[in-house]
Structure 1
Amino acid sequence: MLFYHPTFAKKSLKENFSKLEWEKDPDPFSKWTRGLTGYPMVDAGMRELWETGYMHNRVRMIVASFLVKHLLQPWQKGADWFLNTLVDADEANNALGWQWIAGTGTGSSPFFRIFNPITQGKKFDPDGEYIKRWVPELRGVPKEYIHDMTEAPSSVLNTAGVELGKNYPYPIVEHKEARQRALERYEKIK
């Protein structure tokens, strides 16, 4: 792809995506990079990346989808972050992955496919072991609530030592609202 499309690592292959209205506030991107989104699976992946320089492919897809579709940040920002933090970073593979998740490249995931980080966590980390390894402040949370702190009763959070908004953040976006916002933005450029 890079041979035939030298700008592939920086420019969406599908031209209409250059018109997508991205969010301009840098704070969500900063929270994403530090693993402070309030979505445990996303936070675990981003913290693992920062600490080890590596992240499992499934988690890469989850965090990438979250950045592009929940936070409406340009895929290029995520791609640059991955290139600067992954020890196995490869420019071509990185661009293909990010353009796939954003729906902007070849063989792309459809724009309307938006990973739900809560259900993805439940499916691929059902007991929360991965989350508890990388998000230590959630180690005392039972597996029934580990994927969504907002569903946990206050008694469970108290027992686990979790204070939302203090030692673990509230979700920075609400999944259903963020999904709808992304679909509306993508629909405008379809």
Structure 2
Amino acid sequence: MFAQIRPAIVLTLILTVVTGLLYPLAITGLGQTLFAAQANSSQVKRGDVVVGSSLIGQNFTKDIYFWPRPSATSPDAYNAGSSSGSNLGPTSQVLVDRVKASVDALKAGGAAGPVPADAVTTSASGLDPDISPDYAKLQIDRVAKARALPADAISALVTANTRHPVLGIFGEAGVNVLALNMALDDLKK
């Protein structure tokens, strides 16, 4: 009987070492060698200090900064530990009330014209770091006023920080809120 069990035990030990130790170490080594920034959470640094990630949004709330799209994570906005969408559908009164309140808040803050969808709805993960160029443009006057800067200077930063679709057709245009807000801080210096 041991002759039949021995190969199963040996094979289990070999596969455990290969798939549980060697493979993860090889993939980690390749990731650190070929894609170090991505493997280390795409950290954004200012000097030696990590200020965020280019892949995870942050909850900017001051008028001197561009605001991200709403986050559905709880209990805190942009909590990567509880990434999720709200799962509220178009017939949900809770969603309708939240969107209406967001539109009213933007209008009270001086936003003129139509409000882009990403300004009042959450992303699927609740952690989206990007906003649409339309939402960024909607915020230019508020940010310019709060920083006592010309709107043209802020508009130029939005344009400079807008990512366009690859080859003009793949993906959507977007603006990374952290990168834009860091550029705003550098503009003042």
Structure with greater strand percent: 2
Common fold, TM-score beyond 0.5?
no
Instruction: State the TM-score bracket (shorter-chain normalisation).
Output: under 0.3
TM-score normalised by L of structure 1: 0.27
Q: Which has the larger radius of gyration?
A: 2
TM-score normalised by L of structure 2: 0.27
